[in-house]
Amino acid sequence: MFFQASAILLLMIFYGCYFGKLLSQRRKGIRTDQLGRGKKGFVRLIELSVKAAAAAVPAAEVISIVLNVSGLPSPFRWAGLILALAGDVFFLCALITMRDSWRAGVSGEEKTELVTSGVFSISRNPAFLGFDLVYLGMALTFFSWPLTLLSAFAALLLHLQIVNVEEDFLIAAFGQDYLDYRGRVCRYLGRKPRS
């Protein structure tokens, strides 16, 4: 029961932050969900796939929690909860630091700022890292092959979103400022050594 209650709480925090930010921005007239909007070809396919996976994974997580699926020993389940908690922290820090520049997907129509401070000084993609840690954490806490494979597929799609959509957009929007930032901070976690 402890693992189930803890996991539900962690998911409520994570998705509460996500939807709370979305609603807060909507009240300000900001369209946060840009996934697939105005995109074509491969970029549209990636963004719509990310959107579908981001809906499917929490459904699979909730089913696994309700059924209390537990294919791994207790230490793995504890590690899973810790990873999911870290995911919540990274995601929340990303939302707070980005303020109203946060979007799900990219928009060439809206001007945002390049955020490099706070949690972005140690991760270029802390919101994506948050998703990945929550996915991995829940997969360890409630291990089953279907949940694990779906979570891994969603993490792969998020990675494709970063390398095929987000980074190209940021280079086009911010040029040398983004390239300099990319030279200092790792994609997921860490700072690069100065040469």
Question: Is 139 within a domain?
Answer: yes
State residue 195's pLDDT score.
Answer: 63
Report angle CA 23, 26, 32 to the nearest 5 degrees: 90
Structure tokens given for 42 = 């491969």
Q: Which residues of the chain have pLDDT under 50?
A: none
Question: Is 192 within a domain?
Answer: no
Expressed in angstroms, the distance from the first to the final Cα of the chain is 51
Question: Is 172 within a domain?
Answer: yes
Q: Which residues make beta-bridge pairs with 189?
A: none
State residue 8's pLDDT score.
Answer: 97
Structural domain total, the chain: 1
CA 122, 127, 132, 134 dihedral sign is positive
Give the domain range for residue 59.
Answer: 2-184
Question: Is 23 within a domain?
Answer: yes
Question: Is 190 within a domain?
Answer: no
State residue 119's pLDDT score.
Answer: 96
The residue written with tokens 């979305």 in the block is 22
State residue 43's pLDDT score.
Answer: 86
Question: Is 189 within a domain?
Answer: no
Q: Which pLDDT tens digit goes with each residue over 114-129?
A: 999 999 999 999 999 9
State residue 69's pLDDT score.
Answer: 86
